[in-house]
Amino acid sequence: MLLIAAATLPVAATTAVAAADPPPTCTYNLSPPQVVAVSGTEMVTATLSPGACDRSNTYLSVACVQMEGNPGPPKCEQNNGVLTAQVFYAPYRPGATYVSTGRGCANTGNPPQPVCTPVGPVTATI
């Protein structure tokens, strides 16, 4: 008869690892599309401005406007730092539906990492 000795090995203790908190981020304020007169020409505009930040620094704001149903890309404008981004869209067509969207980017963490947050859409028939 053959005897086999079983070896016992120590078992490492396992502990649950807590999920990392989401990175701190900033809030952004997106305006609905609205009509403005620029040098006598009616255009649609929207703005994106940085709001409160939690241990983050905003470095980019982008505001976009598009006429609903338009197959082309939206018209977008950006601004650096904490400055408000504003876009102007032409031609304005009374009674059409316009959509504003945006994106705000901030650096957060140590070392700083970029985090971009999409905002919108906000729709208005004007």
Cα 51 from Cα 6, distance rounded (Å):
65
Quick check: helix, strand or coil at residue 21? coil
Instruction: Write the pLDDT tens digit of every residue in 59-97.
Output: 999 999 999 999 889 999 999 999 999 999 999 999 999
Specify the pairing of strand 56-67 against strand 75-80. Answer: antiparallel
Cα 111 from Cα 109, distance rounded (Å):
6
Q: Round the average pLDDT of the chain to a whole number and report it.
A: 86
Cα 44 from Cα 34, distance rounded (Å):
5
DSSP classification of residue 14: -
Q: What is the pLDDT of residue 115?
A: 94
Instruction: Write the pLDDT tens digit of every residue in 44-66.
Output: 999 999 999 988 999 999 999 99
Work out the angle at residue 105's Cα, subtended by the Cα atoms of residues 84 and 89, and round it to the nearest 5 degrees: 45
Domain spans, the chain:
26-125
Top pLDDT among 126 and 2 is at 126
**Which of the following CATH numbers is that of domain 26-125: 1.10.30, 3.30.1490, 2.60.40, 1.10.3720?**
2.60.40
